[in-house]
Amino acid sequence: MIILTGGAGFIGSCFLAKLNSQGIDDIIVVDNLDDSRKWRNLLGKRFCDYIPKDKFMQLLENNRLPIPKHIIHLGACSSTLVTDYDYLMSNNYEYSKKLAVWAFKYNVHFIYASSAATYGDGALGYDDRDENTLLLKPLNIYGESKHLFDLWILKNSYACRAVGLKFFNVFGPNEYHKAKMMSVVCRCFDELKSGLPMKLFKSYVAQYHHGEQKRDFVYVKDAVEVIYYFYINPQISGIYNLGTGVARSWNDLAKAMFAALNIPPRIKYIEMPEGMRDKYQYFTQADTAKLRSCGCQHKFSTLEEAVKDYAIYLDLKTYI
């Protein structure tokens, strides 16, 4: 049996579909469906039970949960716009600690989601070796909440009993409920189809021209394959980057979108909100040496391939 937290969310629901495609449906999905469109991510999926997060925590604290073989912990607040420190610490840090302690007590295979936001401004690079992780300084409290859990894992010598995945900029189907946290591809798709220009933030750093800020963009189908690799190889442990290892510019992303729509490129550079400017990452690129060294040789989609594939889902408004 598998417990999949965040199973109705973006990456979680795509991973649920992957498990189903492999004939696996003995899965307990944990999430908060509230009043968002997230519930649609579960349509057509097979699982044995759904437990709201609050009830799940009660069962966990009262030791009334069935003991699974695997816990895939993808449930968290992933918004970099949230400013409520206590909420993020409770939802991302304390929740993760309680679940991890329970998993380790019963020797349950534990995989959890960390984030590239832990790398902050990138001054220390994007090396996922433990000695580098200990030195990182995130730029926002979301990144800090994820970083603190990574530190807790390392300082308590739990890295040999868990897998942490530092997700870079994941985009793709099933993110439709994420409102302002949707990828630019999802948020701007209909506007570009209607003939409007692509809006990208201006740069406020001399070495980057407008739109040339770079990200390691990861297609969700590739992210799911990497998670699945660790799922089927429970003997592997540690904290790993989950990125392509290739940084691409926002201009590249815009051009890929226009190409997928067969429309001539039109880009408009707009002011970045002042509150974001001192927290903005101008460059991210996963160091994939550690990921490859553990045997994961998955070939990631190029940005152009991923955007072209995603455009099919967006055009038809379909889900994985």
Residues annotated as part of the active site: 142, 178
What span, in angstroms and rounded, lies between the C-alpha atoms of 195 and 190? 9
- Do strands 169-171 and 162-167 pair parallel, antiparallel, or not at all (unpaired)? unpaired
Chain mean position to CA 317: 21
What span, in angstroms and rounded, lies between the C-alpha atoms of 266 and 251? 10
Whether 207 contacts 226, CB under 8 Å: no
| SS3 readout for 88-118 | HHHHHHHHHHHHHHHHHHCCCEEEEEEEHHH
Chain mean position to CA 264: 31
**Alpha carbon separation from 57 to 16, 25, 121, 225 (Å, rounded):** 21, 22, 34, 28
For the chain, strand residue ranges (E) read 2-5, 27-31, 49-52, 70-73, 109-115, 162-167, 169-171, 198-201, 214-215, 217-219, 238-242, 248-249, 267-270
DSSP 197: P
Chain mean position to CA 293: 22
Backbone angles phi, psi at 211, to 5 degrees: 80, -5
Whether 216 contacts 246, CB under 8 Å: yes
Whether 192 contacts 27, CB under 8 Å: no
Chain mean position to CA 134: 21
